[in-house]
Amino acid sequence: MTARHSSLLHVVFRRIAAFGALAMVIQFSVVAHEYWTDETKLVRKIITLETELLAAGIRPGMAEPAFEVPAGLRRRYRPANSLAELETNGYFVLINDADGHRVFTNCDRPACMRVLNHDTSHMPDFWFHMLAPNKPLSFIGGRRLPIAGETYQFNIGSFQDPENRIIWALWEEILSHMLVPMSIMLVLVVGATTLSVRTALRPVLRASAIAAQADPNTTALRLDTAGMPREIARFSEVINRNFGRINDLIKGQKLFASAISHEIRTPVSIVRLELEQIDHPRARKAIDDLDGLTHLLNQLTALAKLDAVDPASFVDVDLVALVENVISDMVPLVYARSKSIEFENQGGSPVWGVPNLLENLVRNLVENSVKHTPAGTHIVVSTGPGAQVSVRDNGPGIVGAPSQAGMVTGQVKLGDGLGIGLNIITGIAKLHRAVFSLGSTPGEGTRATIRFPT
């Protein structure tokens, strides 16, 4: 099973997101600790937020300023008839206009007014003082706000903060000064990084596509490193050097195939001619051994040449005519082994391939059937329906026939042979993008089929 690899974009995205989340957690902890331990900042934040909420209740444009407590604040600033009741409720509000006239308060008793402890008309634009140290917060403070051309003095008080406005103020500070800015920054960083990585990978993806489509048998494969990041370009240069070695190996293999075809076959043929001049049974035995050696040599040469096939040699091939010619040539071999052969055309269609390789494929299919069956076996070679050819026999079958995976990788061995013919068959089928299947039932026979793409 092929391992699935994560995209570099996904890896970078996950890591940025993880480190961004870690940075936000750290920043959250720092900000929360800073504000929680600094009561001055918390009180200023509460006064700022609370007065902005109260300012929404001002009704300008009337003869006298009017105020209506916003719906969300009515319980918090509910009326109180005494200082004790006010402290129990927990919150106090007094709103004055620019002339110091009272616009609204939730406790107009003198005792309630004394909690201010100052004349608010002379207070600065922003003020507060603590009524008690530590938490829960107890303070009095206020600020001036311009509304519709008029200035209003908002004064509020908190007694033990029963609604935990401190938590609300802390969250608002974190949200406005940390979460939103850092989220925007994280999005920008992720977007910029993703774009940069994608741009940097374009020449890499282009090079990989070229490498996937290139044929090392016909072209000197080399990755174009133009535009690649330096680190990836260095890696690509290493791959280019390896491609160079592969091209050298392919050239050497071609030379080997050519040399073995000429340098070894020629002296073997000369020895065979000399042996034919000797009338002796041992000479006949030696000739048979040389014929076997020549056949093995031809198989090895054919196997070596499979990796050096020129794509330009592919043409439209009349599969029916090709199979008929191969069978005609092999009839003497079949009869010499006391077996019979028959050809059937079931509507075979032309295929795209290399004629001499397809002849070799059919020949090896028939030879395998001849080699691994007893005398008297009947062999049937058929073409069609469509782009396929099959060879079947009524022999004893093969015990433990090779699997499809074994045939694809060429890791097969039949009987006491070397399995070279079967390797050649699978190699030729692979070159033609054909599917080779081999089925056998002990006692009933074997069937080998090649299905070509349509």
Helix/strand/coil percent split, the chain, to 5: 55, 20, 30
Q: Computed from CA positions of residues 26, 27, 28, 32, in that sequence, does the dihedral angle turn out positive or negative?
A: positive
At residue 156, φ and ψ (nearest 5 deg) are -130, 155
Residue 305's pLDDT is what? 62
Q: What is the 3-state secondary structure (H, E, C) of 4-50?
A: CCCCHHHHHHHHHHHHHHHHHHHHHHHHHHHHHHCHHHHHHHHHHHH
The CATH architecture one would assign to domain 38-163 is 2-Layer Sandwich (3.30)
DSSP 58-98: EE-SSSS-EE---GGGTTTT---SSHHHHHHH-EEEEEE-T
Residue 169's pLDDT is what? 83
Q: Cβ neighbours of residue 199 under 8 Å, at least 6 residues apart? A: none
312-451 has the same fold as 38-163: no
Q: Is 100 exposed, middle or buried (0-12, 13-18, 19+ CB in 10 A)?
A: exposed
Residue 91's pLDDT is what? 94
Q: Can you identify the CATH homologous superfamily of domain 312-451? A: Histidine kinase-like ATPase, C-terminal domain (3.30.565.10)
- Quote the distance between the C-alpha of residue 237 and its chain's center: 24
Tokens of 94: 């007094």
Alpha-carbon distance 329 to 332, whole Å?
7
Neighbours of 345 (CB within 10 A): 14
Residue 244's pLDDT is what? 74
Residue 85's pLDDT is what? 93
Find out whether 306 and 431 touch, Cβ atoms under 8 Å.
yes
């490498």: which residue's tokens? Answer: 211
Residue 61's pLDDT is what? 66
Going from N- to C-terminal start, the domains of the chain cover 38-163, 230-304, 312-451
Q: Which helix (H) or strand (E) holds 102?
A: strand 102-105
What are the 10-residue block averages of pLDDT along the chain, 454 residues in total?
61 78 79 79 90 89 78 92 92 90 91 81 84 88 90 92 87 74 76 78 74 60 72 75 74 66 68 73 71 63 63 84 89 88 89 86 87 88 90 79 43 46 81 87 86 88
Residue 273's pLDDT is what? 75
Q: Cβ neighbours of residue 34 under 8 Å, at least 6 residues apart? A: 41
Q: Which helix (H) or strand (E) holds 449?
A: strand 445-451
